[in-house]
């Protein structure tokens, strides 16, 4: 089958308003022409956040709504999904202590997007164990949660389904599934697609898996099993690992400025610094880089983001294996061409390199991505150099836009 490779262009809009502080591990959803972000880790203080910010995608202006109700505790690497007129938040960790995560809770936190009022629910049934770095999707009136981590070395291999109408976790037994943290998870018709991710001690996941959700009887205990998909790897694939500049001096100066105020005042007063962000990008353009090529054509990655353009999933950045290191920050763009809905469990998933114009953003992981018409909107994340410990960040917004109309 002849697949037409889509074309994209990177753009960077001029942002105004109350720009959120730099962060990673936050969540984002798209609602009513706006991007709504919640929580994450403050890159300067390394503390988890519980704030909500809204970016109007028609004016590119940030605002901070006044939320009320049962506000969730600060958290990072949780999930947030849109259901009706509500943002559903589950999981995440409060802080990282040594190699272990201190988790928050297993409530389902609900933000009403019409009133900006938080509430929480403890569903009936067997609750999932607390976790972070999991993946979540909505299928019909069900919230599906898969994988995740309970420390930096170990992952879960389970799947939970929450019936949002009955407010009950459904019993699910998942067979023959390797543990995984932050895999890509996408509903394609009546098929759940899982792709790549991090298997901790078992290494990066190299496969694409499918789970048929057709005609499941949710009134009985479910016994499910992911099936290996036919995945065609990317021919002659390699990726670059840029080496960031040492910005420890700039970071220390920023940190002093941040600690002049309490946390809430910092958040209200922080409007960003165009000059500082521009310096980060200028440094990035001159960086050294190394080429990583494992010879198998597999775009290994985790803590990445992805968007859907027709029958194509576009995967951006994240963390991948490096030369001599287990994890390295990348910023490449790859594509997973999907078979039709009818052939989602039997067809071929094809890896490709799309054609891209414009300046790529600096490498990052732990960023957020939402889909807005023919665009992926990207915010936040952190660029960590595993080799020497430096890191960079920004709080800019980047747009990946399709140059073709996708039906």
176-186 pLDDT tens trace: 788 999 999 99
Residues with Cβ within 8 Å of residue 54, at least 6 apart in sequence: 34, 35, 36, 62, 63, 64, 65
In this predicted structure, what is the pLDDT of residue 218?
A: 87
Reported as a single tens digit per residue, the pLDDT across 396-406 is 999 999 998 65
Cα radius of gyration rounded to whole Å, the chain = 20
Stretch 188-214: mean pLDDT: 94
pLDDT of 265 over the 50 cut:
no
Query: What are the sequence ranges of the domains in the chain?
Result: 7-402
In this predicted structure, what is the pLDDT of residue 367?
A: 97
In this predicted structure, what is the pLDDT of residue 200?
A: 80
- Region of poorest pLDDT, from 53-67, 243-257, 354-368: 243-257
Query: pLDDT confidence of 264, banded at 50, 70, 90?
Result: very low
Per the prediction, the chain carries an average pLDDT of 88
Distance CA 297, CA 319 (A): 16
Reported as a single tens digit per residue, the pLDDT across 279-321 is 444 445 445 788 999 999 999 999 999 999 999 999 999 999 9
Burial 369-392 (b: 16+ CB within 10 A, else e): bbebebbbbbbbbbbbbbeeebbb
pLDDT of 380 over the 90 cut:
yes
- Region of poorest pLDDT, from 20-34, 110-124, 289-303: 289-303
Residues with Cβ within 8 Å of residue 257, at least 6 apart in sequence: none
What is residue 71's three-state secondary structure? coil
CA distance between the termini of the chain = 19
The gap from C-alpha 298 to its chain's centroid, in whole angstroms, comes to 19
Reported as a single tens digit per residue, the pLDDT across 147-196 is 999 888 889 999 999 999 999 999 899 997 889 999 999 999 999 999 99
Q: Which CATH number fits domain 7-402: 2.120.10.80, 2.40.30.10, 3.50.50.60, 3.40.50.300?
A: 2.120.10.80
In this predicted structure, what is the pLDDT of residue 101?
A: 87
pLDDT of 261 over the 70 cut:
no
Reported as a single tens digit per residue, the pLDDT across 44-73 is 999 999 999 999 999 999 999 999 999 999
């Amino acid at each position: 089958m002849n697949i037409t490779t889509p074309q994209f262009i990177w753009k960077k809009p001029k942002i105004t308003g109350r720009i959120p502080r730099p962060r990673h591990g936050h969540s984002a959803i798209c609602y009513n022409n706006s991007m709504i972000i919640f929580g994450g880790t403050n890159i300067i203080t390394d503390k988890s956040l519980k704030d909500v910010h809204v970016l109007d995608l028609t004016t590119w202006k940030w605002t901070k709504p006044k939320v009320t109700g049962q506000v969730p505790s600060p958290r990072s690497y949780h999930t947030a999904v849109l259901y009706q007129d509500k943002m559903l938040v589950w999981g995440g960790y409060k802080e990282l202590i040594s190699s272990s995560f201190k988790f928050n809770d297993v409530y389902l936190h609900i933000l009403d997007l019409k009133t900006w009022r938080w509430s929480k629910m403890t569903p009936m049934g067997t609750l999932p164990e607390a976790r972070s770095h999991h993946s979540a999707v909505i299928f019909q009136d069900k919230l599906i949660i898969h994988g995740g981590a309970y420390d930096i070395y170990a992952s879960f291999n389970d799947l939970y389904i929450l019936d949002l109408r009955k407010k009950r976790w459904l019993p699910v037994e998942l067979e023959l599934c390797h543990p995984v943290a932050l895999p890509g998870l996408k509903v394609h018709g009546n098929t759940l697609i899982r792709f790549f991710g991090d298997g901790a001690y078992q290494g990066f996941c190299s496969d694409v898996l499918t789970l048929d959700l057709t005609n499941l009887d949710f009134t009985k205990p479910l016994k499910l099993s992911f099936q290996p998909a036919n995945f065609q790897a990317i021919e002659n694939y390699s990726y670059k690992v840029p080496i960031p500049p040492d910005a420890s001096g700039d970071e220390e100066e920023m940190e002093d400025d941040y600690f002049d105020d309490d946390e809430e005042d910092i958040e209200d007063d922080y409007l960003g610094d165009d000059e500082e962000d521009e310096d980060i990008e200028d440094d990035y353009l001159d960086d050294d880089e190394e080429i990583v090529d494992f010879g198998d054509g597999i775009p290994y990655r985790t803590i990445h983001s992805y968007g859907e353009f027709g029958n194509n999933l576009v995967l951006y950045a994240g963390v991948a294996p490096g030369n001599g290191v287990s994890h390295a920050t990348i910023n490449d763009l790859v594509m997973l061409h999907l078979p039709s809905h009818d052939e989602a469990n039997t067809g071929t998933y094809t890896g490709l390199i799309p054609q891209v114009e414009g300046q790529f953003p600096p490498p990052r992981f732990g960023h957020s991505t939402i889909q807005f018409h023919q665009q992926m909107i990207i915010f936040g994340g952190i660029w960590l150099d595993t080799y020497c410990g430096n890191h960079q960040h920004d709080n800019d917004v980047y747009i990946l836009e399709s140059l073709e109309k996708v039906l």
